[in-house]
Amino acid sequence: MTVSSFTLMLESAWPARLLSLAIAAALFAYLRRKDTEGQFSLYLAALAFLFVRDTVLALFPLDGLMVVSDILHYCFALFIFIYPYKAARLVLLPALVLNLALAALFAADSALGFLGPLPERVVALALPVNAILIGLVAFLRRKEGAGRQIPGMIWPFAAALLLGYGASVVAFGYAAPAVERLAVPLSYAWLLMAALAALEQHDRQLLSAVAYYEGSIDSLYNLLLGTGSALKGEFTTEELLKSMNEAIAAETGADGGVIFLVDEFDDLIVCKSYVGSYPPPVSLPESLPRKQNRVETFMKHIQFRLGEGVFGDVAKTGRNVFIPDVAKDPRIVINGEEDFLRISSFMAAPLMVGDKIIGLVSVVRKDAARPFEEADFDRLKLLANFGTLSVSSFFSYLEARERSGLEQSADIAADIQRSIIPKKVPQFPGLGLGAFSLPARGVSGDYFDVIRTRPDRVVCIVGDVAGKGVSAALIMVMIRAILHLVTNTNKDIATVLNWVNKGITGKIDLDHYATLAVIAADTRTGEVEYANAAHQPVLVFRRSSGAVETLDLKSLPIGVERATEYGRKALRLAAGDLVVMYTDGIVEAMNEQGKQYGRKGLAQVVERHRDLPAKEIAAKIKGDLAAFVGSVRQHDDQTVVVLKMSQ
């Protein structure tokens, strides 16, 4: 290309046209990044086509090129403006074919001249005709949804422009300077409009997204307000769930809402909250009268197994359910047309704490003309998540109380026990004492106490409370309290046991039992009183004869019968005599071979070390037992109290 031809180009209409095209192209290119539907490709293709046409024309001013290319240009427009209207596509194909045929014919004729010179301006009639077609179709179809797209936004302008341009070509021809320099660049304006319309569409989308998020934040705020006030004051699970339920139903525009909670023990879900009017989406039992109050009450207390029906499925799998039109869906049963039986639209979402499903929320609408929409479903999911989050600390508390409530109460029980088991046993000039108590698995059912009732009188108690946890620990506290009170009186120890028994039996709903063995000793004279409530027999080791006696009294444990009368035995200890009290965890302790330690094992270790002071004998028993059981885990508490008359 020479400099002169380039100068010619510059002085022609080319730059002006190029500018229009460039602006439109720039806008489309910018929006193309956001365009996921590829609808802009067509516009860009049209722009590219026109650019090529203009450049070629500037370099090679061919006759007839304008009209042929304009027909093609209008074909683009035809496609863009008619294609979105499905019904009108029937017209599109023939129109395009005719246009293309015309263009081809004229081009062939210009090149080969077999039809004689066709007047350009007559052929150009196709342009205004196309424009009218575009306008007609768009006008007739203007109510269709395609109207929200770009063609729908700019068709009046585009049609008018293309009509005007076409008319001017027919009237004045391409050679006219006004047409060449003004009309042609102006004809690109519709593409420019399309670009601007695309921009506006983009803005509109942004605005609607912002509006949606604002709406979500409002809903969340309302939810928090509702549940927050429930959390502030006195709250029960029912009230908390009620606020959450009401908030969710309001924000999703529902007619009724229910919340189910999972009952872990039974693998059931139970309806715990009901607001508005929520007809049962399951078959009603035949015997249930179809009256509003009966049906409502039925729904308010309804239960399902995990996995049963649509609710059970949500609770088991954690899947959301969205059924905007229940009519065709087999999961939902409509029991009738009455207002209290009819459902038209249904949604459900699980309530989760961490990855644990604790329940579900569900809402319904009854008006078939107003089904739930995707936005409502999104809202439900958001609120279900958020609602559970904001009250999850409460639900976690319930769950923790449920699950590790046992651990917690075991801790409390252990604390209580630690505080009442004596840390040190008193010693007397005439009588030495030794003891140990080893709990199994942190919660001891064993109890022992050494009470100095008078300077020279001591009462030793060893007991075993049946059951575990806080309630057993509390029983221990009660027994200890009664014992401390009663041993200070002058009553004999059998009466003491009677009183302990009366104090415990029947006081509480749940049965609680304990065994007790009581030894009351005069530390100077060695006179001993023994009483027993079903506890292990007490061993007495006589120094002089080397004999081992068993002290026992057949009796009922504490807590079985209120009127039980306990008996007692009396004996006298001589110097060097030993008394050993213990719990069944000692004699029933098993080693790896499955053998029990037994009374024999206990007696043997005591006899071996009978010359040691009571404290050391207790330590020897502890060591021997540990050696016996080896690594076998012990399932019962082990307690020993040793009394030795000084020598």
Partner 1 sequence: MELKIRKSGDNYIIDVNGEMDLYNSYKLKELVMKMLEKKVERFIINLENVDYIDSSGIGALIYICSTIKKMSFKLIITNIHGSVKKVIELTKLMGYFPITNSIEEAIQQMED
Partner 2 sequence: MANDTTYLSEIHEIRVDENSPLFDKTGLLYKEFPSDYRQIRYFTLLIVQSAPLEIKEINLLEQQISEVIKNAVKHGNRCKPEKKVRVWYSFDSSHAQLIVQDEGEGFKDLEKWNEFNRKRLEILSKQDYEGLADYVSFRTQKSDDNDGGNALFAALEYWNGGFVYNNKRNAVAMLKKFPQKKHAIG
The least distance separating partner 2 from the CB of residue 510, rounded to whole angstroms, comes to: 10
Rounded-to-integer distance, Cα 444 and Cα 514, Å: 13
Rounded-to-integer distance, Cα 86 and Cα 141, Å: 10
Q: Of 203, 561, 607, 611, which lies in the binding site for partner 2, with binding defined by CB under 8 A? A: 561
User: Judged by CB under 8 A, does residue 352 bind partner 2?
Assistant: yes
Residue 635 interacting entry, from partner 1, partner 2, none, C-beta within 5 to 8 Å by type: partner 2
Q: Of 224, 560, 612, 629, which lies in the binding site for partner 2, with binding defined by CB under 8 A? A: 560
Rounded-to-integer distance, Cα 496 and Cα 480, Å: 12
The least distance separating partner 2 from the CB of residue 466, rounded to whole angstroms, comes to: 4
The least distance separating partner 1 from the CB of residue 367, rounded to whole angstroms, comes to: 28
User: Judged by CB under 8 A, does residue 318 bind partner 2?
Assistant: yes
Residue 557 interacting entry, from partner 2, partner 1, none, C-beta within 5 to 8 Å by type: partner 2
On whether the CB atoms of residues 419 and 620 are closer than 8 A, the answer is no
Question: In this complex, which beta carbon is closest to partner 2, that of residue 404 or of residue 488?
Answer: 404
On whether the CB atoms of residues 470 and 412 are closer than 8 A, the answer is yes
**HEC-encoded secondary structure of 316-348:** HHCCCEEECCHHHCCCCCCCCCCCCCCCCEEEE
User: Judged by CB under 8 A, does residue 467 bind partner 2?
Assistant: yes
Residues with Cβ < 8 Å from 634, sequence gap 6 or more? 438, 440, 585, 589
On whether the CB atoms of residues 284 and 296 are closer than 8 A, the answer is no
Number of residues that bind partner 2 (CB under 8 A): 31
Cβ neighbourhood burial of 268 (10 Å; 0-12, 13-18, 19+): middle
Residues 257-286, mask of contacts with partner 2 (x by CB under 8 A): -------xx---------------------
Residue 393 interacting entry, from partner 2, partner 1, none, C-beta within 5 to 8 Å by type: none
Type of residue numbered 275: V
Residue 466 interacting entry, from partner 2, partner 1, none, C-beta within 5 to 8 Å by type: partner 2
Per-position b or e across 537-566, b if 16+ CB within 10 A of its CB? bbbbbebeeeebeebebebbbbbbeeebeb
Residues 388-427, mask of contacts with partner 2 (x by CB under 8 A): ------------------xx--x-----------------
Q: Is 190 left (phi over 0), alpha (psi -120 to 50) or beta?
A: alpha
Compute CA distances 181 → 9, 138, 140, 184, 590, whole Å.
13, 30, 34, 6, 110
Type of residue numbered 124: A
Question: In this complex, which beta carbon is closest to partner 2, that of residue 23 or of residue 412?
Answer: 412
Residues with Cβ < 8 Å from 387, sequence gap 6 or more? 223, 227, 244, 247, 248, 351, 361
Q: What are the phi and psi torsion angles at 457 (to 5°)? A: -130, 135
User: Judged by CB under 8 A, does residue 334 bind partner 2?
Assistant: no
On whether the CB atoms of residues 107 and 68 are closer than 8 A, the answer is yes
Question: Of 81-89, 192-200, 465-473, 597-605, which part binds partner 2 (CB under 8 A)?
Answer: 465-473
User: Judged by CB under 8 A, does residue 594 bind partner 2?
Assistant: yes
Q: Of 148, 294, 356, 454, which lies in the binding site for partner 2, with binding defined by CB under 8 A? A: 356
632: nearest Cα among 580, 575, 585, 578: 585
Question: In this complex, which beta carbon is closest to partner 2, that of residue 164 or of residue 537?
Answer: 537
Question: In this complex, which beta carbon is closest to partner 2, that of residue 136 or of residue 416?
Answer: 416
The least distance separating partner 2 from the CB of residue 356, rounded to whole angstroms, comes to: 4
Enter the DSSP assignment of 75: H
Question: In this complex, which beta carbon is closest to partner 1, that of residue 60 or of residue 265?
Answer: 265
User: Judged by CB under 8 A, does residue 466 bind partner 2?
Assistant: yes
Question: In this complex, which beta carbon is closest to partner 2, that of residue 147 or of residue 318?
Answer: 318
The least distance separating partner 2 from the CB of residue 21, rounded to whole angstroms, comes to: 57
Site for partner 2 in 625-644 (CB under 8 A): 635-636
CA angle, 463 as apex, 459 and 467 as ends, to 5°? 155
Residue 293 interacting entry, from partner 2, partner 1, none, C-beta within 5 to 8 Å by type: partner 1
- Give the containing element (helix H, strand E) for 198: helix 189-232
Question: In this complex, which beta carbon is closest to partner 1, that of residue 266 or of residue 325?
Answer: 266
Question: In this complex, which beta carbon is closest to partner 1, that of residue 63 or of residue 511?
Answer: 511
Residue 352 interacting entry, from partner 2, partner 1, none, C-beta within 5 to 8 Å by type: partner 2
Rounded-to-integer distance, Cα 373 and Cα 18, Å: 47
Question: Of 193-201, 242-250, 355-363, 566-574, which part binds partner 2 (CB under 8 A)?
Answer: 355-363
User: Judged by CB under 8 A, does residue 317 bind partner 2?
Assistant: yes
Residue 596 interacting entry, from partner 2, partner 1, none, C-beta within 5 to 8 Å by type: partner 2
The least distance separating partner 2 from the CB of residue 335, rounded to whole angstroms, comes to: 23
Residue ranges in contact with partner 1 by CB under 8 A: 263, 265-266, 287, 289, 293-294, 297-298, 300-303, 509-511
Compute CA distances 204 → 77, 210, 378, 420, whole Å.
24, 10, 20, 74
- Give the containing element (helix H, strand E) for 100: helix 89-112
CA angle, 261 as apex, 255 and 264 as ends, to 5°? 160
Question: In this complex, which beta carbon is closest to partner 2, that of residue 600 or of residue 635?
Answer: 635
Question: In this complex, which beta carbon is closest to partner 1, that of residue 287 or of residue 631?
Answer: 287
Rounded-to-integer distance, Cα 135 and Cα 575, Å: 126
User: Judged by CB under 8 A, does residue 355 bind partner 2?
Assistant: yes
User: Judged by CB under 8 A, does residue 468 bind partner 2?
Assistant: yes
Q: Which residues pair with 517 in a beta bridge?
A: 462, 532
Question: Of 95-103, 125-133, 498-506, 558-566, which part binds partner 2 (CB under 8 A)?
Answer: 558-566
Give how far the C-alpha of residue 551 lies from the chain's centroid of Cα atoms, to the nearest Å.
Answer: 61
Type of residue numbered 443: V
Sheet holding 431-438, edge to edge: 431-438, 638-645, 578-582, 538-541, 548-551
Q: Which residues pair with 539 in a beta bridge?
A: 550, 580
Question: Of 20-28, 174-182, 552-560, 573-581, which part binds partner 2 (CB under 8 A)?
Answer: 552-560
Question: In this complex, which beta carbon is closest to partner 1, that of residue 298 or of residue 394?
Answer: 298
Site for partner 2 in 596-625 (CB under 8 A): 596
The least distance separating partner 2 from the CB of residue 469, rounded to whole angstroms, comes to: 8
The least distance separating partner 1 from the CB of residue 509, rounded to whole angstroms, comes to: 4
Here the tokens at position 137 are 């179709």
Question: In this complex, which beta carbon is closest to partner 1, that of residue 157 or of residue 298?
Answer: 298
Question: In this complex, which beta carbon is closest to partner 2, that of residue 353 or of residue 431?
Answer: 353
> Which stretches of the chain bind partner 2, using CB under 8 A?
264-265, 316-318, 352, 354-357, 406-407, 410, 445, 466-469, 511, 513, 556-557, 559-561, 588, 590, 594, 596, 635-636
